[in-house]
Structure 1
Amino acid sequence: MTMWPPDPSTLKRPVYRSLAESLIEAIKAGEVRQGDRLPTHRDLAETLGISVQTVSRAYEELDRQGAIAGMVGRGTFVRASASDTRTPWHRIGDGDEVVDFSMLTPVTGDIHEKRLKATLAEMATDVTPDVLFSFRPRATLSTHAETALDWLKRCGLEISRAQVLPTNGNTSAMTVALMTAADPGDLVVCEDLTHHTLKALCTYLSLDLAGLETDAEGIVPDAFEEACRARPVRALFVMPSGLNPKAATMGRRRREALVEIARRHNVTIVEDDAWGPIQPRKPAPIASLAPERTFYFTSFTKSLLPGLRYGWLVVPETLVSATANRHMVTNWMATPLMAEIGTRWLKDGTAYELLEWQKATLERRNRIAAETLKDLDVTSSPNGLHVWLSLPERWNEDAFVAHARNEGVAVAAGSSFTIDLTARPNGIRICLGCSSEANMVRGLEVIARLVRNQPEPALLTM
């Protein structure tokens, strides 16, 4: 049966979104392939018996998702492959009345707007020429790195300023770290469920990527050891402090065991600690146990404010020069205005004020989530930005995600994070940073009801 163009009778309201989703499904199924030319807006509208405006809106949505691209004078073409479209978030539009648990962000409130506006007003009168005009303001960036040392100390690291590389958030830090840690063709290993962009990033860098067996604490040391014996492993990418999709927190002994294996097999470690000091009483970072071989990164993006894309990559001392060169060719430098805002917040205490606000808010939201989802198979971490919900066997993961979306709740499918696309974790990630606590409670109640109720038979085979 042909999936694209879809049978008009299968389109649901809103029709533009249903039409867009049908193309994504056709791409995933391999029926529509990268480079295929799509019908014109008018031709598709006539075929489906819908308005040209509806088709245009669907194509606009697909263009925002990166699934298609329009070329002047040539038409509209499929740009994405099946793996490219598998993102954990749902790109909620301004007009959607949806509780969005799919996007991992910190909680924000009026306090963030007030503090940012005050800082911008202050900068309008006294920002230095180095920040505004220097093409590569070495002195200013040096000050930015120096000021970050206290924040990194709260993360558990005692380091020198020379090891700190200011970055435009976690994504640029992760890219630079992997570029420095491994060469094309090398093997990188990670948790079997990991950061949703890691697989694509390794593909672009021509790195082989393999997932390792995990348990309640994360990577199983025996699995890491076995991988190292089977083939030289160049780098271990790890999210040990609750950031991984299943919200697993690795204890100190487990961290020490992985470090011991990494040292014996000469493996470089890349440690993702994007949440930084949000979580209380977490074990010391792996970077503090093996500073000679560990890249560590964190930022304000997940801990304070989504739009403040400013963070730091902590680099092993012997790799400072190589890392700086790779950062220069990919990012040139951290955006000075962003770095200046972050630095001022560290100096005047705003960062620590917002940190305590975030910790208290997330602690409360995690308590609410635990109560609402009690008796279900849920894992979480202290003050975590998300929880993981394992679905009962009667529920198919994709069917649950689709059904929740129809009920006005967007969640992230567990398969969005898997390294082996044939593996089905049959679970969902629920992010707790949505706009209001009332919306969060409403969305969690919908999820709890769906999990506890028997699904309709048709949903079992979606």
Structure 2
Amino acid sequence: MTNWLPDKSELKRPRYRSLMEAIEHAIENGLLLPGDRLPTHRELAFQLQLSVQTVSRAYTRLIEAGHIVGEVGRGSFVRNPADDHALPFPAQRASDEIVDLALLKPIVGNFHRDAMQRALRQIAGDLPTDILSSFRAATIAGRHVEAVDEWLELCGVPPDDMTVIATNGSTAAMTVAMMSVARSGDLIVTEKMSHHTVPALCRSLGLRLHGLAIDEEGILPSALDAACRADSVKALYVVPDSGPVSCTMGTDRRQAIVELARQYDIAIIENDACGPLPTGGISPLSALAPERSYYFTSLTKCLLPGLRVGFLAVPHNAASTVRERHMITNWMVTPLMHEIATRWIEDGTARALLDCQRDALRERAAIAEKFLGGSNARIGNAGLQVWLPCPDIGSEARLVERSREAGILVAPGSTFSIGPLASEPGVRVSLGISDTQVLRQALRVLRSITGENALMYGPHL
């Protein structure tokens, strides 16, 4: 790394701002490159004869501006701007010759098309006034409340213990939850392999983000405990059922995580995008600790991608704050989508679509087990995906590239890694393909590619 340190005599007051500008200048001129590690707060303070508080303030402002990232226990690094556009799936539209196993989505068929057409015809013949005139961000009421309560109970969340807000899907709910529990400079901890939008969201909100060690059940309680001892953690963002690497958190592990959250008084932001799709019957963390949990789910992953409706359940004493954050970011849930969701829950269509999805994914999970079962692949509890571990980042890159050359898109594990380095090499393979013959052929090709490259697959958690 080229010497980029500013001349301490040139640092003007306020010195934190002058230091911040010097680091920005070094990044802009290539003296600091993406991934470069910056000195610790104390090291830089000693070298420039500044107070540690001055350096800390400059680093915090640089994190808020999106120039650097800070990781508890590892230090501060220059952020790669390309990370803002990194997606676990290609930007181009897949052609007929391309099999897209990168984008995680449920199976869609004629049953779904028929259900949507039927719902739209019914609404057209009996159009609720609210769909035309709703313009006020209000708490869900009436029959909508009963439908939401029914769905949350199906997810294992007792709705009476929490206040529920309807949102435009999980992404909106996640943003509102994060904004409600943390302020700029606060520390959020999560799995070291997490949802690909979490780093960008935390950068946008000026939040620090740290990835925690995981095993086949997700976050290690010892890792959460260590992070809370090392710094003031504001909230835990967790995906207890699958996540990108197909970990499923057991009941005892969930209880241990909840006990630590209570011990250190941290909030729990629980992403349960698949909702009732898994059939394991394990209670969400939010059912164990409703007083500190921000639970969200949606109908997108378990029923239909186009049905952008989600539900955010929060502690009663946080309801006013959450409603305000929802109002300034989304204003209100789209009335037409919410009406369709309510009708489907009321008339049993939602349960029928859920059962249809479960049956289809069980079939595809069996196909995945047949073709990839010998490579230590982990099939997600919901059946939507397979995690195929690689021994190193080079093997991951080769597998992604060889698959692309063969006409198959898979999601590289590096896009889910929390931090500047790939923490868990591998690829995520989506099973949401309608045509089972196409899926069989694609997985057969993947198995062949892994054999050709002699990749030593195995559990690397």
* TM bracket, shorter-chain basis: 0.7 to 0.9
In 2, the alpha carbon distance for the partners of 1:252 and 1:139 equals 32
Partners of 2:161 and 2:290 within 8 A in 1: no
Paired position in structure 1 for 2:110? 110
In 2, the alpha carbon distance for the partners of 1:125 and 1:161 equals 37
Deviates more, 1:155-164 or 1:205-214: 155-164
In 1, the alpha carbon distance for the partners of 2:247 and 2:381 equals 10
In 2, the alpha carbon distance for the partners of 1:383 and 1:226 equals 30
In 1, the alpha carbon distance for the partners of 2:203 and 2:444 equals 39
Paired position in structure 2 for 1:98? 98
Query: What displacement does 1:455 show?
Result: 6.4
Partners of 2:168 and 2:333 within 8 A in 1: yes
Query: Which amino acid in the other structure matches residue 219 of structure 1?
Result: I
Paired position in structure 1 for 2:55? none
In 1, the alpha carbon distance for the partners of 2:250 and 2:125 equals 48
Provide closer, same or farther for how the CA distance between residues 282 and 241 of structure 1 changes in structure 2, counting only shifts above 3 A.
farther
Query: What displacement does 1:128 show?
Result: 1.1
Provide closer, same or farther for how the CA distance between residues 140 and 198 of structure 1 changes in structure 2, counting only shifts above 3 A.
closer
Deviates more, 1:224-233 or 1:158-167: 158-167
Kindly provide the CA deviation profile for residues 229-274 of structure 1, in whole angstroms up to 9, marking residues without a partner as x: 10000000000011x1111111111111111111111100000000
Which structure 2 residues correspond to residues 178-197 of structure 1 after superposition, within 5 A? 178-197=178-197
Query: What displacement does 1:96 show?
Result: 4.4
Partners of 2:411 and 2:429 within 8 A in 1: yes
Paired position in structure 2 for 1:168? 168
Partners of 2:274 and 2:382 within 8 A in 1: no
In 1, the alpha carbon distance for the partners of 2:86 and 2:94 equals 22
Kindly provide the CA deviation profile for residues 109-157 of structure 1, in whole angstroms up to 9, marking residues without a partner as x: 1000001001001100102112211212748655323311111111111
Provide closer, same or farther for how the CA distance between residues 185 and 125 of structure 1 changes in structure 2, counting only shifts above 3 A.
same
In 2, the alpha carbon distance for the partners of 1:393 and 1:420 equals 16
Query: What displacement does 1:278 show?
Result: 0.7
Provide closer, same or farther for how the CA distance between residues 217 and 125 of structure 1 changes in structure 2, counting only shifts above 3 A.
same
Partners of 1:366 and 1:383 within 8 A in 2: no
Which structure 2 residues correspond to residues 363-378 of structure 1 after superposition, within 5 A? 363-378=362-377
What is the SS of the residue equivalent to 1:234? strand
In 2, the alpha carbon distance for the partners of 1:140 and 1:294 equals 20
Structure 2 segments unaligned to the other structure (5+ residues): 1-29, 35-79, 456-461
In 2, the alpha carbon distance for the partners of 1:444 and 1:267 equals 42
What is the SS of the residue equivalent to 2:189? strand
Paired position in structure 2 for 1:428? 427
What is the SS of the residue equivalent to 2:297? strand
Query: Which amino acid in the other structure matches residue 306 of structure 1?
Result: P
Structure 1 segments unaligned to the other structure (5+ residues): 1-29, 35-79, 457-462
In 2, the alpha carbon distance for the partners of 1:161 and 1:134 equals 28
Partners of 1:149 and 1:161 within 8 A in 2: no
Query: What displacement does 1:394 show?
Result: 10
Paired position in structure 1 for 2:119? 119
Provide closer, same or farther for how the CA distance between residues 137 and 217 of structure 1 changes in structure 2, counting only shifts above 3 A.
closer
Paired position in structure 2 for 1:54? none
Partners of 1:147 and 1:343 within 8 A in 2: yes
Q: Does 1:255 align with 2:249?
A: no
In 1, the alpha carbon distance for the partners of 2:193 and 2:140 equals 39
Query: Which amino acid in the other structure matches residue 386 of structure 2?
Result: V
What is the SS of the residue equivalent to 1:160? helix
In 2, the alpha carbon distance for the partners of 1:424 and 1:249 equals 19
Provide closer, same or farther for how the CA distance between residues 395 and 449 of structure 1 changes in structure 2, counting only shifts above 3 A.
farther
Sequence identity percentage? 42
Deviates more, 1:135-144 or 1:330-339: 135-144
Paired position in structure 1 for 2:355? 356
Paired position in structure 1 for 2:201? 201
Aligned residues: 380
Partners of 1:130 and 1:140 within 8 A in 2: no
Query: What displacement does 1:452 show?
Result: 1.3
TM-score by length of 1: 0.79
Partners of 1:164 and 1:313 within 8 A in 2: yes
What is the SS of the residue equivalent to 2:445? helix
Paired position in structure 2 for 1:344? 343
Partners of 2:248 and 2:381 within 8 A in 1: no
Query: What displacement does 1:403 show?
Result: 1.1
Paired position in structure 2 for 1:225? 225
Query: What displacement does 1:162 show?
Result: 6.6
Query: What displacement does 1:382 show?
Result: 3.2
